[in-house]
Amino acid sequence: MNLTYAGALSRAYDWDYILWEVRLKLLAAGFFIYLGVFLLTHWLSSWISASYRDLSAKQKVSWNIVITRALFGVQSCTVGLWALLIDPVFQADQVYSQQNWSWFHCLIAAGFFLLENVVVHVSNVLFRVFDPLVVIHHLFAFGGLLGLITNVKSGHYLPLMGLLLEMSTPSGCISFMLSKIGWANTLFWKANQWVLIHMEHCRTILAYHMWWVCISHWNEVVENLGFPYFIVFFMGLSTLTLILNPYWTYKSTQFLFSSVNKSFPNTAMKRESSDKLK
């Protein structure tokens, strides 16, 4: 890809992101776009899926947010891979670089994670459940992107790599839905579960890459992000690397080889709550 094409792509998102009004509008747009996906998923599933209609209210919320998350994962993988492998600006500078298109997608992503936090906390209150790993993950995800809104000088490469960590969500969505409709013991489910496990390992490698960027440019990263934002980012990446990624990879692998009937609602919900609400 040449610089001329990169410039044309950037001009397609040519807004004044320095303005608070623009940033907040895009954050709100991300929230309401994915809220629309969430509600549309409920409507379509109620219309076409008997399995969905038989679910409890808590399971329906999980079904809808899993599908919404999978669509967000497709968006996140696209922009993350573009920054990682193609865009020459981010290839040249992994600390300070920004692009108009990266501004747009990071702000939309912040809106999505705001929605996820709302859904998680409202569900916790309504259904009297609480998963600390889920809560911690979503708070750090939103907090990390919130730093972009308050610090317009922050580079976008590391946040985009954070979005690329959503690479496991489409496979996680398929695994969850197949479990719900009673297809958890099929060859297709097992093949998808292998893909999910592979994506979990790729997440681990990507987290190490993010550490490498931070360690290689430590002073520059701290200066660029600002100390408060850096602390949030550092704590989130540490939690992901040391706790969340290993735990989710272990649970995905255990679920593949488990002898428990995966179509049981309680089993599926337990795993979804602890392992795939991310």
Q: Among candidates 167, 197, 180, which has minimal Cα distance to 63?
A: 180
pTM for the predicted model, two decimal places: 0.87
Number of H helices, E strands in the chain: 14, 0
Please state, rounded to an integer, the average pLDDT across all residues of the chain: 87
Give me the pLDDT at residue 99, please.
Answer: 93
User: 172-218 pLDDT, tens per residue?
Assistant: 999 999 988 888 888 999 999 999 999 999 999 999 999 999 999 99
| CA quadruple 20, 160, 104, 135: dihedral sign | negative
Token representation of residue 143: 């907090």
The alpha helices in 151-226, defined as continuous H runs, are 157-164, 169-180, 187-216, 218-225
The length of the chain is 278
Cβ atoms of 182 and 263 closer than 8 Å: yes
More confident residue, 48 or 3: 48
Query: Looking at residue 240, what DSSP letter applies?
Result: I
Reported as a single tens digit per residue, the pLDDT across 88-126 is: 999 999 999 999 999 999 999 999 999 999 999 999 888
Can you give the three-state secondary structure of 63-82, one letter per residue?
HHHHHHHHHHHHHHHHHHHH
Cα(first)–Cα(last) distance of the chain, in Å?
33
Residue 185 has what pLDDT?
83
Give Cα 121 distance to the centre of its chain.
17
> Six-digit token pair at 220?
């520059």
Amino acid at 48: I
Q: What is the pLDDT of residues 48-74, one digit of tens each?
A: 988 899 999 999 999 999 999 999 999
* Rounded mean pLDDT, 224-242: 92
